[in-house]
Amino acid sequence: MVGIVDVVFPLRGETIPADHAWDLYQALLLRFEWLESDGGIGVHPIRGAQIGSGLLHLGKRGRLTLRLPQARATKSLALTGAKLALGAGVEVGPGQIKKLLPHGTIYSYFVTTGSDNELVFGTQVMDELQAAGIACKVVCGRARQAVTGRGEIRGFSLMLHDLPPEASLRIQESGIGRARQLGCGIFVPHRSAAAVAS
């Protein structure tokens, strides 16, 4: 893929569901119909502080990040000022386009390949990397699950390290596994292997 970037929007709001991927996808789909058909699109999970009762507190650092082809990135800035139906509602601040940066260690909070068996999952990941001609160290982490309008999806957190710069960018651009629009298989640079267990 060529010209994949992140578009980062600050969020204003109090709390959202911890399991928010499906609701976020539906809210974005109302504004961008191409979200469903464009396979080069990813929606990062929104980060926040776990406060119990299945909720995240956004605080001042809440961000919505979309991983998009450059051609879609400028159009996505129209999301600024929108109110999304997440929890009690969140307001989207002005977006910024950011280039992806190569890093030797990258991490995804949730990768799904269709299997919740760790051994099968690991084999599927290795097969995907091998097909792409990428050799690196792979660390499988915690089991993950999310409820969607199409059923439950399951997978694991995943860390890849000892990546050359070109391979790091390729994986960040293309992801691994399925359900990129639901926050799965999206990799970000990370400095520590400790993240895979969190």
| Tens-digit pLDDT profile for residues 137-178 | 999 999 999 988 888 999 999 999 999 999 999 999 999 999
The residues near 84 (Cβ < 8 Å, ≥ 6 apart) are: 24, 27, 28, 64, 90, 91, 92
Q: Are strands 90-92 and 151-161 parallel, antiparallel or unpaired?
A: unpaired
> Which residues of the chain register pLDDT less than 50?
1, 194-195, 197-198
Show the domain range for 94.
4-99
pLDDT computed for residue 76 by the predictor: 93
Q: Same structural domain for residues 32 and 9?
A: yes
pLDDT computed for residue 198 by the predictor: 46
The H-or-E segment that residue 123 falls in is helix 118-131
Q: Indicate the residue among 99, 127, 162 that finishes a domain.
A: 99
| Tens-digit pLDDT profile for residues 69-83 | 988 999 999 999 999
CATH number of the domain encompassing residue 113? 3.30.70
The H-or-E segment that residue 75 falls in is helix 70-76
In angstroms, what is the C-alpha Rg of the chain?
A: 16
Q: Same structural domain for residues 134 and 159?
A: yes
User: Strands (DSSP E) along the chain, which ranges?
Assistant: 4-12, 15-17, 42-43, 49-52, 55-57, 63-69, 83-84, 90-92, 96-99, 106-111, 137-148, 151-161, 188-189
Q: Same structural domain for residues 73 and 153?
A: no
Number of domains in the chain: 2
Q: Same structural domain for residues 123 and 186?
A: yes
pLDDT computed for residue 185 by the predictor: 96
* Distance of alpha carbon 145 from alpha carbon 178, whole angstroms: 13
Q: Same structural domain for residues 140 and 95?
A: no
